[in-house]
């Protein structure tokens, strides 16, 4: 068997949930694995439902011919985003680097195999989009029988090009970051700058499309897909190959994908050892001074340990700080913006005023800082060093209190700043501003406590890459999705109730409920800590 296939097969087997469930004898651990598999299946169903609803709308308005282009665009965007945030943890500075590099493989082969590993692990997401959209397209368009296998096969090639582009950007970020003294912070800053640039590009493109003054939503989507196909040819190639069965478009999509794969991994392979060695090394000063040692409380030491753990991982920092950074930008930007114009532009002339939206300010801010809780994945980050934590002469409750306190200290200052800035800009009363500030503090405390509950209950210590627990862990999934859905529902609910009841009463009631839930989550975390 090809060496690359052997390496890829072993990487997949070592992290396969199905393989772990098959050979695991611990019923409790097997139950968690099965729960994780069920959770992933539910997420795939949710994605498929969204895609089906979108395509049914297109078919209902007689524009089913746009579905292949929409499918290609959605898969491409998802592939780019997923890969961009995984590249650092999968391709560079990964845990098993020394072991893999000691094997008889070329650096280019190892880098390419790790890329294919990312591709295979993300394939269920792309397949969910492709299959659901193909089903709706088949129902409305009644295409030739040959369209189905062509669509299915080309869907396997479709995400590769955006993944390669995202991986190459990650390679450039790693290469630039490896030249700095503090490599982790440099990589994090470069990654966040790229995310902000993409976020800003979204508004630029939206404004550019709005200049067309399109009246119909379907026409707007059609124009957007035509424009996307002009700037990103694989969308048009997929549409021509799957819908019109054009041989030339099939060859272009497959050929360009293979060519880019080879071209991109040539420079990556040449610089692979150098970049990883630089990222894994640490600079040291030759000047040493004996100074007085500082003493901290046990809880303070745990908090400081979590801070050092974050600054030592670009993946950790990027995921933990992106929401706080958006709060900072929003808090500063809102001071120089016209709130009424922003609301009119965001809600397309809906009869909403800043007074009506004021009760939603704490939940809007919490949506940014509360969707990621460091307490949800830091218990799992102990990994194979968990035995050291177990042997420390400190109570388990103190350890997990420190993890919760760190997340609270990380999120609260940014959340408070954004809440006060938004309240002042919306001309909320002093009493309402104080209530919003208290509510957002309690929400940050709830995020810390509920995240710790999920982190302890769904702790995973046998990970091979920190991306698996920071971005893909069961604890993060269980924490994030219910939290996100409830936050969105509460945002709409408080706006609705605020039009009928005094806003201070609505905010006070929600604050009381949030406080009770926070206490219950904290007690639950402490109860779980005793069992660890």
pLDDT band of residue 201 (cuts 50, 70, 90) is very low
How many beta carbons lie within 10 A of that of residue 348, not counting itself?
6
Please indicate whether residue 158 or residue 339 has the higher confidence score (pLDDT): 158
Rounded Cα–Cα distance for residues 204 and 194 (Å) = 15
**Which of these ranges, 11-15, 137-141, 227-231, 401-405, has the smallest mean pLDDT?**
227-231
Structure tokens at 209: 């499309």
Please indicate whether residue 359 or residue 32 has the higher confidence score (pLDDT): 359
- Are residues 458 and 475 in contact, defined by beta-carbon separation less than 8 angstroms? yes
Give the pLDDT confidence score for residue 50 in this predicted structure: 84
Structure tokens at 418: 């954004």
Structure tokens at 469: 């627990």
The pTM of the full predicted model, rounded to 2 decimals, is 0.61
Structure tokens at 170: 């990650």
The mean pLDDT of 247-254, rounded to a whole number, is 89
pLDDT band of residue 213 (cuts 50, 70, 90) is very low
Give the pLDDT confidence score for residue 520 in this predicted structure: 94
The beta-strand segments (E) located in 299-414 are none
Give the pLDDT confidence score for residue 512 in this predicted structure: 92
High-pLDDT (> 70) share of the chain, %: 73
Tell me the CA distances in angstroms from 376 to 129, 171, 309, 373, 420, one per residue in order: 28, 28, 14, 6, 27
Give the pLDDT confidence score for residue 202 in this predicted structure: 47
DSSP string covering 69-135: HHHHHHHHHHHHHHHHHHHHHHHSS-TTHHHHHTSS--HHHHHHHHHHHHHHHHHHHHHHHHHHHHH
Q: Using the 8-state DSSP alphabet, how is residue 371 labeled?
A: S
- Decide: residue 195, CB within 10 A, 0-12 exposed, 13-18 middle, 19+ buried: middle
Q: In this model, does residue 215 exceed pLDDT 50?
A: no
Please indicate whether residue 190 or residue 108 has the higher confidence score (pLDDT): 108
High-pLDDT (> 90) share of the chain, %: 12
Rounded Cα–Cα distance for residues 429 and 498 (Å) = 14
Map residue 11 onto helix, strand or coil: helix
Q: In this model, does residue 166 exceed pLDDT 60?
A: yes
pLDDT band of residue 208 (cuts 50, 70, 90) is very low
Give the pLDDT confidence score for residue 356 in this predicted structure: 74
pLDDT band of residue 236 (cuts 50, 70, 90) is confident
Please indicate whether residue 102 or residue 332 has the higher confidence score (pLDDT): 332
Rounded Cα–Cα distance for residues 408 and 134 (Å) = 45
- Give tens-digit pLDDT for 29-59: 777 677 767 777 887 888 888 888 878 877 8
Query: Quick one: how many helices (H) and strands (E) in the chain?
Result: 24, 0
Rounded Cα–Cα distance for residues 519 and 517 (Å) = 5
- Give tens-digit pLDDT for 462-486: 776 677 777 767 788 788 878 888 8
How many beta carbons lie within 10 A of that of residue 360, not counting itself?
19
The mean pLDDT of 493-500, rounded to a whole number, is 80
Tell me the CA distances in angstroms from 170 to 148, 187, 234, 357, 410, one per residue in order: 34, 9, 21, 39, 26
Give the pLDDT confidence score for residue 440 in this predicted structure: 93
Q: In this model, does residue 329 exceed pLDDT 80?
A: yes
Query: Among the ranges 76-85, 94-103, 128-137, which has the highest mean pLDDT value?
Result: 128-137
Residue with tokens 């124009």: 223
Q: Using the 8-state DSSP alphabet, how is residue 213 labeled?
A: -
Q: What angle is formed at CA 360 by the lines to CA 431 and CA 48, rounded to 5 degrees? A: 165
Residue with tokens 């998802």: 78
Rounded Cα–Cα distance for residues 158 and 225 (Å) = 16
The mean pLDDT of 194-215, rounded to a whole number, is 46
CA-CA-CA-CA dihedral for 349, 355, 357, 358, to nearest 10: 160
- Decide: residue 347, CB within 10 A, 0-12 exposed, 13-18 middle, 19+ buried: exposed
- Give tens-digit pLDDT for 258-285: 888 888 777 776 766 666 666 555 444 4
pLDDT band of residue 183 (cuts 50, 70, 90) is very low
pLDDT band of residue 211 (cuts 50, 70, 90) is very low
Structure tokens at 14: 């070592």
Q: Using the 8-state DSSP alphabet, how is residue 296 labeled?
A: -
- Give tens-digit pLDDT for 386-412: 767 777 777 888 888 989 999 999 999
Q: Which residues make Cβ contacts (< 8 Å) with residue 365, sequence separation at least 6?
A: 327, 415, 418, 419, 422, 440
Please indicate whether residue 186 or residue 114 has the higher confidence score (pLDDT): 114
Residue with tokens 């929003």: 330
Length of the chain: 532
- Are residues 253 and 237 in contact, defined by beta-carbon separation less than 8 angstroms? yes
- Are residues 429 and 389 in contact, defined by beta-carbon separation less than 8 angstroms? no
Q: Which residues make Cβ contacts (< 8 Å) with residue 312, sequence separation at least 6?
A: 184
DSSP string covering 383-417: GGGHHHHHHSSS-HHHHHHHHHHHHHHHHHHHHHH
């Amino acid at each position: 068997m090809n060496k690359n296939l052997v390496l890829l097969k072993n990487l997949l087997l070592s992290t396969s949930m199905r393989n772990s469930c098959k050979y695991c004898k611990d019923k409790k651990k097997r139950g968690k694995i099965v729960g994780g598999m069920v959770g992933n299946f539910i997420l795939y169903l949710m994605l498929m439902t969204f895609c089906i609803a979108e395509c049914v709308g297109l078919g209902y308005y007689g524009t089913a011919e746009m579905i292949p282009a929409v499918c290609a665009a959605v898969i491409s965007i998802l592939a780019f985003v997923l890969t961009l945030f995984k590249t650092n943890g999968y391709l560079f500075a990964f845990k098993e680097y020394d072991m893999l590099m000691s094997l008889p493989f070329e650096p280019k082969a190892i880098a390419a195999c790790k890329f294919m590993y990312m591709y295979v692990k993300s394939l269920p997401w792309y397949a969910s989009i492709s299959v659901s959209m193909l089903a709706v397209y088949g129902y409305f368009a009644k295409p030739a029988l040959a369209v189905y296998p062509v669509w299915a096969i080309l869907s396997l090639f479709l995400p590769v090009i955006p993944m390669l582009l995202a991986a190459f950007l990650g390679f450039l970020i790693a290469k630039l970051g490896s030249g700095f003294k503090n490599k982790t912070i440099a990589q994090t800053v470069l990654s966040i700058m790229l995310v902000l640039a993409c976020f800003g590009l979204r508004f630029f493109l939206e404004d550019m499309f709005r200049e067309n003054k399109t009246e119909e939503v379907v026409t707007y989507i059609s124009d957007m897909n035509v424009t996307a196909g002009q700037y990103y040819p694989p969308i048009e190639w997929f549409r021509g190959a799957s819908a019109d069965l054009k041989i030339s478009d099939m060859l272009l999509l497959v050929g360009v994908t293979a060519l880019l794969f080879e071209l991109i991994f040539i420079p990556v392979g040449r610089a692979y050892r150098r970049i990883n060695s630089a990222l894994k090394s640490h600079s040291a000063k030759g000047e040493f001074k004996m100074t007085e040692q500082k003493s901290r409380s046990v809880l303070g030491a745990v908090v400081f340990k979590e801070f050092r753990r974050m600054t030592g991982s670009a993946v950790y920092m990027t995921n933990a700080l992106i929401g706080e950074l958006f709060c900072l930008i929003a808090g500063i930007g809102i001071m120089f913006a016209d709130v009424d114009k922003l609301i009119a532009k965001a809600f397309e002339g809906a009869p909403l005023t800043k007074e009506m939206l004021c009760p939603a300010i704490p939940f809007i801010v919490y949506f940014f800082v509360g969707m990621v809780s460091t307490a949800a994945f830091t218990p799992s980050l102990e990994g194979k060093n968990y035995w050291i934590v177990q042997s420390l002469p400190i109570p388990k409750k103190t350890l997990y209190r420190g993890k919760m306190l760190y997340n609270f200290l990380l999120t609260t200052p940014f959340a408070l700043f954004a809440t006060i800035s938004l309240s002042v800009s919306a001309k909320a009363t002093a009493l309402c501003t104080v209530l919003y500030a208290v509510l957002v503090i309690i929400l940050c405390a709830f995020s810390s406590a509920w995240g710790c509950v999920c982190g302890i209950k769904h702790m995973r210590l046998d990970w091979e890459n920190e991306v698996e627990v920071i971005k893909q862990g069961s604890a993060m999934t269980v924490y994030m999705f219910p939290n996100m859905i409830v936050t969105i529902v509460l945002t709409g609910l408080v706006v609705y109730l605020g039009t009928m009841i005094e806003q201070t009463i609505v905010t006070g009631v929600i604050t009381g409920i949030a406080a009770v839930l926070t206490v219950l989550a904290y007690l639950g975390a402490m109860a779980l800590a005793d069992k660890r």
